[in-house]
Amino acid sequence: MSRKQHWDTAYDQKSEGQFSWHQETPALSLELMQEAGITRACSVIDIGGGTSRIVDSLLDMGLSDIAVLDLSENALRAAQRRLGMPGATVTWIAADITTWQAGRQFDIWHDRAVFHFLIDPADRAAYIRALSDSLSPGGHAIIATFAPDGPDKCSGLPVQRYSPDMLAATLGVQFKLLRHHHHLHQTPWGTPQAFQFSLFRKTG
Ligand SMILES: C[S@@+](CC[C@H](N)C(=O)[O-])C[C@H]1O[C@@H](n2cnc3c(N)ncnc32)[C@H](O)[C@@H]1O
């Protein structure tokens, strides 16, 4: 089964509250966006956004340049259905982050639980190229992955776990680590999962 088929099937079979990664409010992501200095004038892209409610919060904050990218068209359709009319102002991008070319730049890149699925070094390199190309100079990236004490699989797929330092070393010197948090996510059925959330600034 291809990567896309895996995720389309997952979103076809379950609704948002049945996914281990579901959050009612993406509080820590929003806190890090505040630390990055987010304003209504900022452009934000949520990578592998799925059915995440971060887009709802960004719309509530009055942002008008929001993009959500995901491999799964089923996920994007479900998020659009939930949002209704306000979702019409969002740019929905059905693409694999390892082959996508933005053709523009964003002020803030957000990724919760996507980079850690890239266990092939070539896929990681492609992701970092996309990040580098599509983030404005001085722009910020928030990347959340399972931490070293987190699960080694998600949605039945193997993941690479990271500490903030390991993630910084993987992204390279162009991305300066500004803040990091160890975070225990509670799945909808109450199982704790250890994440790291890191905030980076693109230098140079
Ligand atoms: C664990 S879910 C996290 C969803 C969302 N970020 C959140 O926090 O609720 C991972 C998401 O990444 C998407 N995804 C996985 N691999 C991807 C890839 N190579 N390119 C784009 N999206 C991908 C999946 O379709 C899924 O929506």
CA-closest residue to ligand 1 atom 2: 113
Does the model's pTM come out above 0.85?
yes
Q: What pLDDT, on a 0 to 100 scale, did the predictor assign at position 53? A: 97
Q: Is 109 in the pocket of ligand 1 (CB under 6 A)?
A: no
Task: Show me where the domains of the chain are located.
Answer: 3-202
Residue 4: is it exposed, middle or buried by C-beta count within 10 angstroms (0-12/13-18/19+)? middle
User: What pLDDT tens digit does each residue of the chain (204 aa) get?
Assistant: 899 999 999 999 998 889 999 999 999 999 999 999 999 999 999 999 999 999 999 999 999 999 999 999 999 999 999 999 999 999 999 999 999 999 999 999 999 999 999 999 999 999 999 999 999 999 999 999 999 999 999 999 999 999 999 999 999 999 999 999 999 999 999 999 999 999 999 997
Angle (CA) 165-170-173 rounded to 5° is: 85
Topology (CATH level 3) of domain 3-202: Rossmann fold (3.40.50)
Q: Is 16 in the pocket of ligand 1 (CB under 6 A)?
A: no
